[in-house]
Structure 1
Amino acid sequence: MNTNKTNDINSKLPNVGVSIFSEMSGLANQYKAINLSQGFPEFDTPEFIKNKINYYISAGLNQYAPSSGLPKLQSAIADLVNTKYNANIDSANHVTVTSGATEALFVAIQTLVKSGDEVIVFDPAYDSYEPAIELAGGKAIHLQLKAPTYRVNWDDVIGAITPNTKAIIVNTPHNPTGTILTESDINNLSKIITDHKLYLISDEVYEHIVFDEQTHFSALRFEQLRKRAFVISSFGKTFHCTGWKLGYCIAPTNLTEEFRKIHQYVTFSSFTPAQAAIADMLTENSTHVYALSDFYQQKRNVLINALQDSRFKLLPCNGTYFLLLNYSAISDVKDVEFCHWLTKEHGVAAIPLSVFNQSGHCDKIIRLCFAKNDNTLINAAERLCQL
């Protein structure tokens, strides 16, 4: 009798394969290309935090933190958001520290979504949303945003709501497009959430990277939204330490209680010495947070200026550390093929935008990451200007 059961597993995510980020980074390594594809900084974490984490490791702070986070980090997070957004956040009851924003997104989705529920997402969308929704038994309802502005049509949102709709996921500043939600957008969103008794998952991992003196309209600024929202952010983006995988989720007490029930069985707690180090950074050296927009705006401008003589059409970038380029004046091929060609033949790795669309919709647009040293950006731009 054949007792081999290795092939009896029915995949829960049959349509998921190797991510485009791993694929393009692999190609970049293979062809020794300049890697502007995967979204991680080329520069290092601030010395202050590195010194602090070394201190706490040496001091023996190496065991489990409380599942909801070190109290001093929870308090520092609450102080930051209360100052920035005039919110009324209670650190102990509203703030949960997580192993990166991806864990927070996963747990928030598992908290809300049950079999048959629908969740509205906006394409192009970050690739972790739909798998988490499917694993919870729900269905992602994709609304396509259109280039070059990628603005949300709120009438389309209302038209997509059904009796099964449970939540809406927004991402502002938006990866991959670099757009931000305006105050008018948030007012429309708030009315829809309230009128239809929906929940909101607000992915705000780039909250401190907004350009040209514009305002980040966090859901935490608006009382009606705060009552029905999970707001998620990431220290990896803020402090150039993506490998530490440390983020947080802010939600009202009733939602936080349910969130923590699941969180404790996903990671239980997150890297203790990093929590202590970041708490000190927020309380003793917070100028870094407030200087981040200017820092990345300078990076954006270096890349934009270096691409002025190229044949690419540059799309507006209001936030994040990503810039979109339309290559339709250069090639008629699909964006995935174009990115492979660009990496292999011209030594620059980028991300094709169509992979963020459920439909595979292609506008001949690619994404570049400018969280890199100036020389890297200029060298990449020189190659792109040769096309």
Structure 2
Amino acid sequence: MPKISERLNGFTESVIRKMTRISNKYGAINLSQGFPDFDPPKEIKEALVKVAEEGPHQYEITWGSQKLREALAKKQTKFMGISIDPNKEIVVTCGSTEAMMVSMMTACDPGDKVIVFSPFYENYGADAILCGAVPIYVPLKPPEFNFDKEELIRAFKQKPKAIILCNPSNPTGKVFTIEELQFIGNLAKEYDTFVITDEVYEHIVMKPYKHNYMAALPGMFERTISCSSLSKTYAITGWRIGYVIAPEGIIENAKKVHDFLTVGAAAPLQAAVLAGLNLPDEYYESLRELYTKKRELFLKGLDEAGLKYTKPEGAYYVMVDISEFTNGSDMEFCEWLAKEVGVAAVPGSSFFKEDVNNYIRFHFAKKDETLIEAVKRLATLREKAKSRKI
């Protein structure tokens, strides 16, 4: 048998998706893989029913239907505060996962260096390796998960081709401040570096925090490749509709990568999601309020269980410190948690490049009754942990 690609030795299967399988095995409440257990807005569901009858059911234009690109350009122009051309500056992708891969392959050649903040969403390291780039990891220091400016400067001095920025952050819930973004942006300009942003949680930011778009900062649009999706904003993670926004010269090349990578996103879903993009501004404010309430409900339960955590500013994840319960494998702890406590989490080591085993990640994108039951089960963790063999 021929030898398979050595690049695959650089990463494992998705730990997040593995935890969903473990959750299902033990009948646990799945607070590992970040998808809601509630429906999208009724306008989107009704549109999907109509599209099922009327179509389209065949290929759309490879880089996204005209109507979808126009709707995306209109919405993002409003929220980003910069003018987006639907015909020259947008590519519709199969989720933000493909958007990130398209961006990496558009920006980087094999051997190029890419800065990745650690902890990071597990795909970023794999994306870099798959496109032949070399990751430079810069730690975000817990529990606040801020970066050290001098460490970041040292990383930029290695002349990276790109930096990946997840804002709001998965897994930490950190929302980068305007001052932090300006500092990163200034370094990107100084060292002629692309900034590839993952902004899928752009509308899930809790007050008083505010999401600022890197592409909207002075002089940054020309070197920023903005990736996002509609999955989290409209609770349609299974639809896999994402997009890339960038200057025309970048998008023309991103179209080529996307065309040969996946051809195009599902035509019926592109048509149905227009109903979401046409929702009034009040929808986005209600989304912020919804997740603020869910965060407070869940964190109250963690407080009552006596668990230590970093309070998230955005997204819908919580990093919980488990050092008092184990000094061993966080993966083993998560398997025990799913089996014995009935709640599934993601071991934090899957997000860190550093040797960190004392964090796990929960998410709170669930119905209130699901979260209430989850915290009820977590209230038993401390007692059950006493009998656990570490």
Is 1:273 the counterpart of 2:271? The answer is no
Please say if residues 322 and 370 of structure 1, whose CA atoms lie closer than 8 Å, have aligned partners that are also in contact: yes
d(CA) in 2 for partners of 1:360, 1:318: 25
Please list, as runs of the form range in 1=range in 2, the aligned pairs for 1:284-323 lying within 5 A after superposition: 284-285=279-280, 287-323=282-318
The match for 2:377 is 383
d(CA) in 2 for partners of 1:94, 1:132: 22
Structure 1 stretch 17-26 or stretch 179-188: which is displaced more? Answer: 17-26
The match for 1:367 is 361
The match for 1:209 is 204
Structure 1 residue 299, shift from structure 2 partner: 0.9
SS for the counterpart of 2:92 is strand
Find 2:82's aligned residue among 62, 87, 95: 87
The match for 1:129 is 124
Please say if residues 20 and 344 of structure 2, whose CA atoms lie closer than 8 Å, have aligned partners that are also in contact: yes
Structure 1 stretch 206-215 or stretch 77-86: which is displaced more? Answer: 77-86
Find 1:247's aligned residue among 242, 259, 264: 242
d(CA) in 2 for partners of 1:353, 1:9: 29
SS for the counterpart of 2:257 is helix
Please say if residues 121 and 170 of structure 2, whose CA atoms lie closer than 8 Å, have aligned partners that are also in contact: yes
The match for 1:165 is 160
SS for the counterpart of 1:238 is coil
CA displacement, residues 135-182 of structure 1 (integer Å, 9 cap, x when unaligned): 222101111211101012232111112454101101000000000100
Matching residue's letter, 1:375: E
Structure 1 residue 83, shift from structure 2 partner: 1.2
Please list, as runs of the form range in 1=range in 2, the aligned pairs for 1:208-247 lying within 5 A after superposition: 208-247=203-242
Find 1:49's aligned residue among 23, 44, 48: 44
The match for 1:196 is 191
Runs of 5+ consecutive residues of structure 1 not aligned to the other structure = 1-5
Please list, as runs of the form range in 1=range in 2, the aligned pairs for 1:67-106 lying within 5 A after superposition: 67-106=62-101
CA displacement, residues 243-300 of structure 1 (integer Å, 9 cap, x when unaligned): 1110111001111111111111011211112112222321245533332111111111
The match for 1:333 is 328
Number of equivalent positions: 381
d(CA) in 1 for partners of 2:39, 2:378: 26
Structure 1 residue 34, shift from structure 2 partner: 1.3
Is 1:181 the counterpart of 2:167? The answer is no
Find 1:256's aligned residue among 234, 251, 254: 251
Structure 1 residue 342, shift from structure 2 partner: 1.1
The RMSD of aligned alpha carbons is 1.5
d(CA) in 2 for partners of 1:163, 1:260: 29
d(CA) in 1 for partners of 2:5, 2:257: 24
Structure 1 stretch 8-17 or stretch 307-316: which is displaced more? Answer: 8-17
CA shift in 2, pair 1:361/1:47, >3 Å:
same
SS for the counterpart of 2:115 is strand
SS for the counterpart of 1:125 is coil
The match for 2:387 is none
Structure 1 residue 220, shift from structure 2 partner: 2.9
CA shift in 2, pair 1:383/1:280, >3 Å:
closer
Please say if residues 116 and 164 of structure 1, whose CA atoms lie closer than 8 Å, have aligned partners that are also in contact: no
CA displacement, residues 340-365 of structure 1 (integer Å, 9 cap, x when unaligned): 22112111111111111123323x12
* Identity level (%): 35
The match for 2:385 is none
The match for 1:151 is 146
d(CA) in 2 for partners of 1:331, 1:116: 39
CA displacement, residues 200-255 of structure 1 (integer Å, 9 cap, x when unaligned): 10110100000023210111321411110110111111111111110111001111
SS for the counterpart of 2:165 is strand
SS for the counterpart of 1:13 is helix
CA displacement, residues 108-160 of structure 1 (integer Å, 9 cap, x when unaligned): 00011112210000011111112221222210111121110101223211111
Structure 1 residue 107, shift from structure 2 partner: 0.7
Please say if residues 32 and 362 of structure 2, whose CA atoms lie closer than 8 Å, have aligned partners that are also in contact: yes
Please say if residues 44 and 272 of structure 2, whose CA atoms lie closer than 8 Å, have aligned partners that are also in contact: yes
Structure 1 stretch 64-73 or stretch 240-249: which is displaced more? Answer: 64-73
d(CA) in 1 for partners of 2:185, 2:291: 30
SS for the counterpart of 2:226 is strand
Structure 1 residue 311, shift from structure 2 partner: 2.3
Q: TM-score, normalised by structure 1?
A: 0.94
CA displacement, residues 285-344 of structure 1 (integer Å, 9 cap, x when unaligned): 553333211111111111112222212112111011111211233333332222122112
Structure 1 stretch 215-224 or stretch 296-305: which is displaced more? Answer: 215-224
d(CA) in 2 for partners of 1:322, 1:271: 28
CA shift in 2, pair 1:177/1:284, >3 Å:
closer
